[in-house]
Amino acid sequence: MNSKEPAKRKSVGAQGDAGASGKEGIPHPGSTRAEVLRGHEHWLHAVITSAPIVVFVLDRDGRFTLAEGKGLEKLGHKPGELVGRSVFEVYPNLPDIREKFRGALAGEMTSSTDRLGEHVFESHFFPLSDDDGKLSGLIGVATEVRDHTRLEESLGVERTMLRMVLQGLHVALWTTDRDLRLTSIEGDVPIFLNTAGEANLGRNLYELLRTEDPNSPIIAVHVQGLGGKSGRVESAVRDREYRIHVLPLQDDQGQIVGCAGMAIDVTERGNALEEVRRLATDLEQRVLERTAQVVTQKDELERANEQLGRAVAELIEARKRAEEASSAKSIFLTHITHELRTPLLSVIGFVDVLMKNREESLNDQDVLYLGKILANAKHLLSVINQMLDLSKIESGRMDLTISPVLLPQLVRETVEELHSLRRTGVVGLLADVPAQTAPLQADEQKLKQVLINLLGNALKFTERGSVVIRVATDEQHCPIRIEVTDTGIGIPRNKLEDIFEAFERAGVEEAGDYEGTGLGLTISRSLCRMMGYDLTVESDLGKGSTFSILLNSKDAGKEARALTEPEK
């Protein structure tokens, strides 16, 4: 992998509600940056998944922190598989990888080309700095150059064939730079001095032809080539007659960088020799065209790699800024919710005191007002608690306490607590839990919070029919799934994933006036995933919905313990 130069987490949710369907959003810090970031990620994802490249990031110890791209398939790796591993252990047979790595950490941009098995990759390394400007690692972009290599191999074969033809037919091909210094030559015609081949490379045509006259035929036709015009001349050199063709040699920018020449010994002319000349000219033209293709493709690849490297660096910087904005937002929410909870709890406490003494000092109108104050205060407290849970989850400060949970008992308690929420006489609240159900490794409080949210939503959006909570087990009586099914208003199919977004209440405004912040399902899915589970939904509009907690009972406890146990 050779050159040098310097280089929301989705919000989540709580007991309350989450819309079943409409949209309610609030502005938050970093929203514009997030949109820009999504645009960068979409563009970069299209490039990475369609081009044979690998984009990677190494820390100062040489360990992968990012490894993505279609090129990983060529190397026998999957996306993310290399994260945490040392590049020196993964590729111990790359001789100069340590030198390139040290160069990038010293602030240089380095590159190399390496063969990895059957594939050849060209890699560029860019220095990566932290917030204080200190070099913290490097960003790398590796591009497979299979087609370029195949082209060079094909060109090598053609050059070998050309050399054989030229040596047998007394034909010479050469190139010069703008100072008329010889840069390459093929063939055994001693047109320049008495020798041919690489012994003359770097020498000026004036010296090789032993002349100082710029108007001599061979010099003049080369000067004409430097002016952009091809030319042909016949000239005698040391008792031999040569027909000389000269073409201007251009780079990929169209700038003339020298001349390409061909000399044919025409001392002994004939029809057969004329045909050979034609074939040699055609072959020479093909070689020049293929050489130009190789140069152009290589330059384009280098420019594309540089642009991609800069784009990767900009994307990482943009992501860092977005994460900082998200962190600032979470800290703000935590502080403001704490400030709101304290006076609100005082209001609820004073109202409770007044309600206890209502018979002595309050009339019916006072009791009615206090009841409304108490209900609204408790609703506001529930919203504040949801906001606090959301900020904890986003900032990674939500703790889990994993222990064996008896699902039959937990479901029964939750159903009893929510019985008062159902519409008496028109909506039934039922529980279907096998008597023999093995304990589940989970955080009992967080799991109950999820169940309260799912059952509360189901009762809220069901005007008649039933709400049923079921626990499914496997052959060993281990719980594998918890389902909450209702016969409520349902959710549009195109909104089934939107309802898990923060502040999303998909379709609620069309179905009626339902309270809720749109945070409940966001928090519920995040809590499930923290415990190693998942939360999904199926629904038919106007017929009802089924929310399923997929427990994956054999692995869920292990994953949840891994999230809460400290590193050793």
Pairing of strands 53-59, 135-144: antiparallel
Whether 562 shows a pLDDT value over 50: the answer reads no
Of the ranges 21-30, 156-165, 420-429, 532-541, which one carries the lowest mean pLDDT score?
Answer: 21-30
CA distance 315 to 250: 37
The tens digit of pLDDT for each residue in 357-375 reads: 777 777 777 777 777 787 7
Q: What is the 8-class DSSP label of residue 182?
A: E
Most confident of 43-57, 126-140, 528-542: 528-542
Mean pLDDT score across all residues of the chain: 76
Q: Strand ranges (DSSP E) for 317-383?
A: none
CA distance 247 to 285: 10
What pLDDT is recorded for position 117? Answer: 75
The tens digit of pLDDT for each residue in 435-473 reads: 889 999 999 988 988 998 899 888 888 888 999 999 999
Whether 82 shows a pLDDT value over 70: the answer reads yes
The tens digit of pLDDT for each residue in 191-216 reads: 654 455 567 788 888 888 888 898 98
Return the percentage of the chain with pLDDT > 90, whole number: 15
Return the percentage of the chain with pLDDT > 70, whole number: 69
CA distance 133 to 154: 47
Whether 16 shows a pLDDT value over 60: the answer reads no
Whether 482 shows a pLDDT value over 90: the answer reads yes
Most confident of 277-286, 401-410, 422-431: 401-410
If phi over 0 gives left and psi between -120 and 50 gives alpha, with beta otherwise, what is residue 299?
alpha
- 506 within 8 A of 494, measured Cβ to Cβ: no
What average pLDDT does the segment 250-268 reach?
83
Whether 432 shows a pLDDT value over 70: the answer reads yes
CA distance 58 to 126: 10
The tens digit of pLDDT for each residue in 293-350 reads: 888 888 888 888 888 888 888 888 888 887 776 666 666 666 666 666 667 677 777 6
Instruction: Compare 389 and 79 and report the one with higher pLDDT.
Output: 79
Pairing of strands 256-265, 171-177: antiparallel
Whether 280 shows a pLDDT value over 60: the answer reads yes
Whether 554 shows a pLDDT value over 50: the answer reads no
Place of tokens 């073409």: 247
CA distance 172 to 248: 17
- Partners of 63 in the beta sheet? 86
Spatial CB neighbours of 330, under 8 Å, sequence gap ≥ 6: 391, 392, 394, 395
Whether 560 shows a pLDDT value over 50: the answer reads no
What pLDDT is recorded for position 124? Answer: 84
Of the ranges 114-128, 179-193, 242-256, which one carries the lowest mean pLDDT score?
Answer: 179-193
| Threshold 0.75, pTM exceeds | no
Q: What's the token pair of residue 22?
A: 């409409």
Q: Strand ranges (DSSP E) for 190-239?
A: 231-237
